[in-house]
Structure 1
Amino acid sequence: MWVPVRYRSGGGGRPKRKIYYRDHELDRVMDLQKKPSLILELKSIIQSQKSRSLLLRDLEKEVGFVKKWNFMNAIEKYPSIFYVGGGNRTPPFVRLAQKAEKIAGEEAEARESMEPILVKNLRKLLMLSVDCRVPLEKIKFVESGLGLPNGFEKTLIPKYPEFFSVKDVNGNACLLLESWDSSLAVSAREEKLASEGILASAGNPRKVRISKDGNYPGPHAFEMSFPAGFRPNMSYLEELEKWQKMEFPSPYLNARRFEIADPKARKRVVGVLHELLSLTMEKRMTSAQLDAFHSECFLPSKLLLCLIKHHGIFYITNKGSRSTVFLKEAYDGTNLIDKCPMLLFNDKFAALSGRGEISSSREMMPSTKHVY
């Protein structure tokens, strides 16, 4: 991906071009998730049938003609997951193999463990919006990324009337926050800094210069991870040091209180984007999903340029069918560092294909981060 950026030059020559450096590990994440996604989708289709099996002739009705062949290949390739039966007078069908059926039985427990996490994250999402409400259609647009079950507005929301309500606002069904909880108005970034003891030592500041990798141990700093090949010069690092040290308002304060021209307000926008991505299971969203919250979270009109400017924090990949934005600090190479119960279950089920379970901690996989 090339991003043209104009520079002023005394000689009046041709404007230079700035390269948007690729992160090959995060690009690879998009490739690695294709096979597990296919397996998990087929598992869900089979489990949704009353007989817990699916006639192969009905597969096209479920997924369409083109996609059908991908699923047929998966059925043939992974007999440890999918069992094909029938023949002669019985139409061929597919169901989960015995071991796969046993592991699939653990999904209910994983979903039960997820519920308090989902409720908390949904409350935080509403608290990020300026009016503490978000149209239901926008939440449904990102429901899979958040980990919400299908039909959450009918199953999950009614269980928590003290937190949520659904009301019509200007002809749109919206999810409203019923009560504000200050204990939830703490960003993922602040929680991490507190766990590392950085916020506790903020009252006793010491002189620390920013390192060449862009990181600075301060209470207002973001974790940076520059892409391989990027070599920041001294002027870049000096500007970054000023930005890292700059205080900024909490992403949970109402955006209407701030002038967008204020540098602190612009830094706060980075905090909002960081928090939105932190609320997802895999710490990533498509650019369209992120932009869907433009009006609710007062995101910048030039969202893409904002993300590119802060390429040490966010990464945009065009791998896959859609442009996807990653929160870089959440990954160690291709490995998502912290996984929720649902992702751990998905890994365990997908491991039946022979891929192997993906580790969920830094210690289990060598670091692929580069320090400059």
Structure 2
Amino acid sequence: MLSFKKTPLRPLFLAIYTPKSHYVDVKMKWKKDPFYDSIQPIQKSNHLKSIISIKNDIQTHPNSCIPISAISKLKFQFDAPTKVCKFIRQYPSFFEEFRGEPNNLPWFRLTHEAIDLDREEWAVYRDRRPELAARLRRLILMSKEKKLPLSVIRGMGWYLGLPNDFIQNPDGDFEFVEMGDGVQGLRAVNSGEDVISVVQRNAVARMGCLAGPNSPIAFPLFPSKGLRLKRKIEVWLDEFQKLPYVSPYEDSSHLRADTDVSEKRAVGILHELLSLFVDHAAERRKLICLRKHLRLPQKFSEVFVRHPHIFYLSLKNKTCTVILKEAYSKDSAIEKHPILEVRKKYIELMDKSKTILRDRRSRKPAAEIEDLDSDGEMDSEGVEDFHRINL
């Protein structure tokens, strides 16, 4: 049973706006959306991450070749979903296997196509480094102290599209700092400048000017086909959209945690965060490390469930991935990430492995080859209502 307390809106400045209504406990149902579940850069992201990690490691060895003994026990380092050697053999379009010394054991090297894409990838890192640095800078500026631990930045590196050596050699916009207890971090230099979010930029495009501080900017909504909200929930959502918008780059320490205004700030932070990522999506569990640094609520993942017109939760690949819907709209104002096109080419090369393996199967007895085509989709039985999933 939903209960709503009507609260008159006051002039839209947080300095004089006092939210009287508490957090409204809205229950939403999860609905599967095949469109978002079929976005290849997202659904193949985990395997691609492991492939690129192995590729980069091979490139550091003499002659860009590596023996099976050197990688067979590095499953966790590469975040591989299975044994490294088995995983590598799933992608012959990337990795060429041959016999070498000592003892005529298996070795691996990159294929010519993988080498070409590697060069293209590093060209993007070199030529568009300022754009990559700007995305990291925006993430740091969203933090309450304008600095983040290096461990957190490394954890977000894949999503931000940063090269492996970026943290070791940051640009002049960053400096290393001590964050206590031996934790080293990265701080944004000259962090006092005004930064506007994607939501604010959209508002400027619509209205022709930037709205005043904490104006009631509404989030763009993208309902999934067949997803209908109860009338009371629609009323709540309409009132929610009229609440003041607090920029992710503003100080919010004065906000009470148990109000819808605080929730709208959390939606704004997560919207801005995902807009910075390569494919505007991330595994939900990987975002936990940002909670305290971005002043997110303890159960911030409930935001994804309560706002299905803004976020989509994909349950494929035995994980839960949150996707920013706006990024995949025809009218999206979100800028494409510089490295996205290269990753799409990597995925096309991944798909070629299926053809290679299929040809090999046709020339060998089926008993000699394992079936490597499983997509790892989570069993959907019992998840029709998403609130039943253990958040």
| Count of matched residue positions in the alignment of Structure 1 and Structure 2 | 319
Q: Deviations over 1:53-95 (max 9, x none)?
A: 22345441443772321211322xx3xx443444698544332
> 2 CA distance for matches of 1:293 and 1:98?
39
Tell whether the 8 Å contact from 1:165 to 1:178 is kept in structure 2 after alignment.
no
Task: Give the Cα–Cα distance (whole angstroms) in 2 for the partners of residues 303 and 97 of structure 1.
Answer: 43
Matches within 5 A, 1:1-372: 19-29=29-39, 30-33=42-45, 36-37=48-49, 39-63=51-75, 66-75=83-92, 78=93, 81-86=94-99, 91-156=105-170, 159-160=171-172, 162-183=173-194, 185-194=195-204, 197-200=205-208, 220-332=217-329, 339-353=336-350
User: 1: CA distance between counterparts of 2:106 and 2:289?
Assistant: 43
Work out whether residues 149 and 186 of structure 2, in 8 Å CA contact, stay in contact via their aligned partners in 1: yes
Aligned equivalents of 2:181, 2:208: Cα separation in 1: 45
AA aligned opposite 2:151: E
What amino acid does structure 1 have at the position aligned with 2:300? Answer: L
Unaligned stretches of 5+ residues in structure 2: 4-26, 77-81, 354-391
C-alpha contact (below 8 Å) 1:165/1:175 kept by paired residues: yes
Q: 1:363 — aligned with what? A: none
Q: Identify if the C-alpha distance between structure 1 residues 39 and 140 changes in structure 2 by more than 3 Å, giving closer, same or farther.
A: closer
> Structure 1 length as normaliser, TM-score?
0.74
Residue 28 of structure 1 aligns with an amino acid whose one-letter code is: S
Amino acid at match of 1:103: L
Structure 1 stretches lacking a partner, 5+ long? 1-5, 9-16, 204-217, 357-372
Aligned partners of 1:83 and 1:97 also within 8 Å: yes
| 1:327-372 deviation per Cα after TM superposition (whole angstroms, max 9, x unaligned) | 1111259x9x85423221222244235569xxxxxxxxxxxxxxxx
- Please report the TM-score for the alignment, with normalisation by the length of structure 2: 0.70
Bigger Cα displacement from structure 2, 26-35 vs 169-178: 26-35
The alignment yields a C-alpha RMSD, in angstroms, of 3.3
Identity %: 25
Deviation at 1:271, TM superposition (A): 0.7
Give the drift of 1:37: 4.3
- The answer (yes or no) to whether the contact 2:266–2:303 under 8 Å persists in 1 is no
One-letter code of the match for 1:251? Answer: P
Q: Is the CA contact 1:269–1:299 (under 8 Å) kept in the aligned structure 2?
A: yes
Q: Which structure is richer in relative contact order (CA contacts within 8 A, separation 6 or more)?
A: 2
For residue 36 of structure 1, report the CA deviation from its aligned partner.
Answer: 4.1
Q: Is the 8 A contact 1:226 1:311 kept in 2?
A: yes
Letter in 2 for 1:198: R
Output one character per residue of 1:165-188: Cα deviation in whole Å (capped at 9) or x when no partner.
Answer: 3224244222223312424x1102
In structure 1, what is the Cα distance between the partners aligned to 2:284 and 2:68?
36
